[in-house]
Structure 1
Amino acid sequence: MDKLSVMNAFRRIVERGSFVGAANDLGVSPGLLSKEIKLLEKSLGCALVTRTTRSMSLTEAGQEYYAKAVTILSAVNALENDIRASARALVGHLKINAPHSFGQLVIAPMLPGFLEDYPELEVTLSLDDHILDMIESGFDISIRVRPSLPDSSLMVRRLGQLKQAIYASPAYLERFGAPTSPDDISAHTVIGFTLAGHQSEWLLHGPGGPRKLALHPRVKVGSSVVLRDLLIAGCGIGTLPDFISREPERDGRLVRVLPEYELPSPEVFAVTASHMGSDPRAKAFVAHLQDGLNDLYS
Structure 2
Amino acid sequence: MDDPDRVSAEMDKLSVMHAFRRIVERGSFARAADDLGVSAALLSRQVKLLEQSFGTTLLTRTTRSMSLTEAGQIYYDEAARILDNVAAVENRIRDGAGAVRGHLKVNASTSFGQTVIAPVLPSFLDAYPDLRLTLSLDDRVVDMVEGGFDVSIRIRPAMPDSALVTRKIGLMRQRIYAAPAYLERAGVPGKPDDIVNHRVIGFLLADHLTTWTLHGPLDAITLDLDPPVRVGNSLVLRDLLIAGQGIGTLTDFVSNEAVARGELVRVLPDYELPAPEIFAVTASRLGMDAKVTAFLDHLRAALRG
Q: Of the candidates 101, 105, 112, which is equivalent to residue 102 of structure 1?
A: 112
Q: Of the candidates 105, 120, 132, which is equivalent to residue 142 of structure 2?
A: 132
Q: Structure 1 211/256 Cα, relative in aligned 2: closer, same or farther at 3 Å?
A: same
Distance apart, 1:86 and its partner CA? 9.4
Q: Of the candidates 176, 195, 204, which is equivalent to residue 194 of structure 1?
A: 204
Distance apart, 1:275 and its partner CA? 7.9
Per the alignment, residue 254 of structure 2 pairs with 244
1:116 equivalent to 2:129? Answer no
Q: CA offsets, 1:31-78, max 9 Å, x none?
A: xxxxxxxxxxxxxxxxxxxxxxxxxxxxxxxxxxxxxxxxxxxxxxxx
Which residue identity does 1:201 align to in structure 2?
T
Q: Structure 1 132/179 Cα, relative in aligned 2: closer, same or farther at 3 Å?
A: same
TM-score (norm 2): 0.68
Computing the radius of gyration from Cα coordinates, the structure with the larger value is 1
Query: Any gaps of 5 or more consecutive residues in structure 1?
Result: 1-78
Q: Structure 1 281/166 Cα, relative in aligned 2: closer, same or farther at 3 Å?
A: same
3-state secondary structure, aligned to 2:222: strand
Per the alignment, residue 232 of structure 1 pairs with 242
Per the alignment, residue 163 of structure 1 pairs with 173
Q: Structure 1 179/125 Cα, relative in aligned 2: closer, same or farther at 3 Å?
A: same
Distance apart, 1:84 and its partner CA? 2.9
Aligned length: 217
Query: Any gaps of 5 or more consecutive residues in structure 2?
Result: 1-88
* CA RMSD of superposed structures (Å): 2.1
% identical aligned pairs: 60
Q: Structure 1 140/81 Cα, relative in aligned 2: closer, same or farther at 3 Å?
A: closer
Counterpart-to-counterpart distance in 1, 2:180 and 2:94 = 56
Q: CA offsets, 1:74-101, max 9 Å, x none?
A: xxxxx97995389633221100000110
Q: Structure 1 278/194 Cα, relative in aligned 2: closer, same or farther at 3 Å?
A: closer
Q: Of the candidates 103, 108, 116, which is equivalent to residue 93 of structure 1?
A: 103
| Mapping 1:1-40, distance limit 5 Å | none
Distance apart, 1:207 and its partner CA? 3.0
Per the alignment, residue 284 of structure 1 pairs with 294
Paired residues of 2:202 and 2:248 also in contact (CA < 8 A): yes
Distance apart, 1:153 and its partner CA? 2.3
Counterpart-to-counterpart distance in 2, 1:81 and 1:200 = 46
Distance apart, 1:229 and its partner CA? 0.2
Distance apart, 1:181 and its partner CA? 0.5
TM-score (norm 1): 0.69
Which residue identity does 2:203 align to in structure 1?
F
Q: Structure 1 180/85 Cα, relative in aligned 2: closer, same or farther at 3 Å?
A: closer
